[in-house]
Chains A and B, each alone.
Chain A
Amino acid sequence: MQTLQSPTRPRSIDQLLDPRLVSRLSQLDVTSRKILAGKLKGERRSKRRGQSVEFADHRLYVPGDDLRHIDWNIFGRLDRLFLKLFLEEEDLGLHVVLDASRSHDAGEPSKWLFMQRLACALGYVALSNLHRLTVWSMAGASITLSERAGAPDEPPEAGRGEPEPERPVVSAVRDLRGRRRLADLARFLLGQEPMGVASFTEAAKRIALARRGKGVMVVLSDFFIKEGYQDGLRLLAGRGFDLFAVQVLSPQEVEPTLGGDLRLRDCEDGDLADVTITAPLLARYKQTLAAYSARLRDFCARRDVTLQVMRSDTPVESALLDHFRRRGLLA
Chain B
Amino acid sequence: MTFLTPLLAGLAAAVAVPALVLLYFLKLRRREVEVSTTYLWKKAIQDLQANAPFQKLRNNVLLILQLLALAAALLGLAQPQLRGQVSGGRRAVIAIDRSASMSSTDGDPANPGARTTRLERAKRQAREFVQSMREPTLWGGAGDMAMLVAFDTRADLLVNFTASKPELLRAIDAIAPTDAPSAFADAFAVARAHLPDRIIAEAGGAGGGEVFKLDEQKEGGVDIQLFSDGRIADLDKVRVQAEDAVTYHAVGSERSWSAGITELRAGRELDKPDTLSLFVALSSSRPEPYTVDVQLAIDGAVAGIQRATIPAAVTAELPVPTDAPEGTRPVTEVTPATTGVSFRVLRPEGGVLTATLLHPDTPDGDALRTDDVAYLILPPGRLLDVALITDGNPLVESILQAMNPSKPVRVVPTASAAAFLRSADASGLDAVVLDRWAPSAGADSPEGVLPEVPALVFGATLAAPVGPIDAGPTQTGRAEVLSWRREHPALRGVSLDALKIAGSARALSVPAGSPVLSLVDGTSGPLIYATGSGARRAVVVAFDPLQTTWPWDIGYVLFTAKALQFLAGTDDESAPYFRPGQTLAQRLPPEATGVRLVLPDNQERPVVPAPTGEVTYGPIERIGVYTLSWDGVPGPRDVRADGRSRRAVAVNLADQRESAIQAAPTLLFGSRVVSAQAGQSIGALRLWPWALLVCLGVIVLEWWVYNKKMAL
User: Contacts A262-B31, A264-B41, A274-B27 known; A222 to B48 CB distance under 8 Å?
Assistant: no
Report B-chain residues with C-beta under 8 Å of the C-beta of A284: 44-45, 47
Bound-state CA distance A75–B354 (Å) is: 165
Contact yes or no, A250 B31, CB < 8 A:
no
Contact A279:B37 (CB < 8 A) given known A263-B32, A288-B43: no
In the complex, what distance in Å separates the CA atom of A138 from the CA atom of B84? 81
Contact of B41 among A103, A226, A268, A285 (CB under 8 A): A285
Asked if B44 and A2 sit within 8 Å, CB to CB, the answer is no
Contact A224/B31 with A273-B45, A279-B708 known, Cβ cut-off 8 Å: no
| Residue pair B33, A266 in contact (C-beta under 8 Å) | no
Q: Could you give, for residues 48-59 of chain B, a 1 whenever the CB lies within 8 Å of some chain A CB and a 0 otherwise?
A: 110000000000
CB distance from B30 to the nearest CB of A (A): 4
Q: A260 near B: Cβ within 8 Å?
A: yes
B31 to chain A: closest CB distance in Å? 5
> B712 contacts A279, CB within 8 Å?
yes
Contact for B712 among A1, A3, A277, CB less than 8 A: A277
Asked if A294 is an interface residue, CB under 8 A from chain B, the answer is no
Contacts of A288 in B (CB 8 A): 40, 43-44
Closest to B43 in A: A288
| B32–chain A nearest beta-carbon distance, Å | 5
| A259 to B42 CA separation, bound complex (whole angstroms) | 16
Once the chains are docked, how many angstroms separate the CA of A35 from the CA of B338?
132
Cα-based distance from A103 to B40 in the complex (angstroms):
13
- Contact of A281 with B44 at beta-carbon distance under 8 Å, contacts A261-B28, A262-B30 already known: yes
Q: Are A261 and B35 in contact, CB atoms less than 8 angstroms apart?
A: no
A107 CA to B35 CA, complexed, in Å: 9
A208 shortest CB reach to chain B, Å: 25
Residue of A nearest to B708 (CB): A279
If A2-B35, A279-B712, A281-B48 touch, whether A263 touches B42 (CB-CB below 8 Å) is no
B71 to chain A, nearest CB (A): 23
Q: Does B139 touch A at the CB level, under 8 Å?
A: no
Determine how close the nearest CB of chain A comes to the CB of B627; give it in whole angstroms: 85
Q: Take A2-B33, A284-B44 as given contacts and tell me if A264 and B709 are in contact as well, using a CB distance cutoff of 8 Å.
A: no
What's the least CB distance linking B475 to chain A, in Å?
Answer: 123
Q: Cβ of A285 and Cβ of B36 under 8 Å apart?
A: no
* Chain B 21-35 per-residue mask, 1 if CB under 8 angstroms from chain A, else 0: 000000110111111
B226 to chain A, nearest CB (A): 62
- Cα distance, A261 to B30, chains bound together (Å): 5
Report the bound CA distance from A292 to B40 in whole Å.
8
Verify A103–B33 contact, CB threshold 8 A: no
| Residue in chain B with minimal CB distance to A278 | B709
B419 on the A face (CB < 8 A): no
| Among B28, B40, B44, B45, contact of A224 (Cβ-Cβ < 8 Å) | B40
Q: Contacts of B1 on A, CB cut-off 8 Å? A: none
B37 in contact with A266 (CB, 8 Å): yes
Give the contacts of A91-129 with B (CB-CB under 8 A): 103-104, 106-107, 111
Q: Assess whether A265 is in contact with B42, with CB atoms less than 8 Å apart.
A: no
The smallest beta-carbon distance between B648 and chain A, in angstroms, is 88
Query: When A279-B709, A279-B710 are in contact, do A265 and B40 touch as well, CB less than 8 Å?
Result: no
* Complexed CA–CA distance, A275 and B38 (Å): 10
B711 contacts chain A at the CB level, 8 A cutoff:
yes
The residue of chain B having its C-beta at the shortest distance from the C-beta of A250 within the complex is: B36
Query: Is A313's beta carbon under 8 Å from chain B?
Result: no
Provide 30 A-B residue pairs closer than 8 Å at the C-beta atoms, listed in order of the A residue. Answer: A1-B36, A103-B36, A103-B37, A106-B35, A224-B37, A224-B40, A226-B37, A253-B36, A260-B31, A260-B710, A261-B28, A261-B30, A263-B33, A264-B32, A264-B33, A265-B35, A266-B34, A266-B36, A267-B36, A268-B37, A271-B38, A274-B28, A274-B30, A275-B41, A276-B28, A281-B48, A284-B45, A284-B47, A285-B41, A288-B40
* Additional 12 contacts, C-beta under 8 A, given A260-B31, A262-B30, A281-B45: A3-B35, A224-B36, A250-B36, A253-B36, A262-B32, A264-B32, A266-B37, A267-B37, A268-B37, A272-B38, A273-B42, A274-B28
- Which 6 pairs across A and B sit closest by C-beta, in order of nearness? A103-B36, A106-B36, A224-B37, A278-B709, A263-B30, A273-B38
